[in-house]
Amino acid sequence: MQMYKLIVSDLDETLLGRDGQISQDNIEAIKAASKKGAKFVPNTGRSFTSVQVLLKKLGLFQESNEFVISYNGGAIVENKDNQILQTNEMTYEEGKGVFDITSRYPENDTHVYTVDKLYIYNPRKEDLAYLEPRHVKYEIMDTDDFSIFKHDKIMKVITMNPDQNVQHQVHDEVMAAFDNKLNASYSSGMYAEFNHLGTDKGTATLELAKSLGIKKDEILALGDNSNDLPMLRKVGMPVVVANGTNEAKDLAKYVTKNNYRTGVAEAIHKFVL
């Protein structure tokens, strides 16, 4: 049986429920895998700052040689002191170009992520309600002057609207403006996300694995949505939870019988424990 030394997992709708909470089954399976020697790494589109409460539940908070991959691969962070090991940010021109388009849609809000902060322009109530149980801290932008980020590292820019037709319309406009030279994906059924070309969860996973001396065949990845596809493509054992998209399931070697409530635990028991 293949020994999986690294488990990377998406968070929202993969490890966590729609309420942003993690089940006890998932917690216990992850702790058991860690005790056996497998390294568990959250691999999320969100900031590492929003993952700290989860890390405490998993016994990984402030631990040396334990990691979080954030911003769809835009940053690799060691949990001890939140030491940022690597970033792959957007250029200022990319961030501004995306923002200039998304901010023109009055029914959308836009997130701008710097290394350690989130700014939201034109916030929607349902978006803020989604972020609250996930311990996501943010500042409201009261200006559309993007030059306030001139001296920041811009990790990614995303736009939110629950209407998938609007998401696709904005996505297509942005990608056309950049001649498809950005990484673009969807998440949680309501976000269209934009990163620097070459920045994705899969590339960051392999970069972290290489630094740890772990081969790609020794990696198990869990996901559910479009921004997980590069991660699922690049590992030895791609697993998708039952509530995942058909596109994600097409890449999986195993689809769990259970959804985000216990799907991660199911996969860990099957392939690691």
Inter-CA distances, 182 with 3, 203, 213, Å = 35, 15, 30
The pairing of beta strand 191-196 with beta strand 237-240? unpaired
Render pLDDT for 35-72 as a digit per residue (tens, 0 to 9): 999 999 999 999 999 999 999 999 999 999 999 999 99
Q: Which one-letter DSSP state was computed for residue 91?
A: P
Is CATH 3.30.470.20 correct for 6-87+199-271?
no
The C-alpha angle 193, 160, 69, rounded to 5 degrees, equals 40
CATH architecture of 92-196: 2-Layer Sandwich (3.30)
| Whole-number pLDDT of residue 195 | 98
Could you tell me the residue ranges of all domains in the chain? Answer: 6-87+199-271, 92-196
| Whole-number pLDDT of residue 2 | 83
Spans in the chain with pLDDT lower than 50? none
Tell me if 221 sits within 8 A of 210, measured CB to CB. Answer: no
160 pairs with which residues across the strands?
109, 191
Q: How far apart are CA 89 and CA 10, in angstroms?
A: 20
Render pLDDT for 100-126 as a digit per residue (tens, 0 to 9): 999 999 999 999 999 999 999 999 999
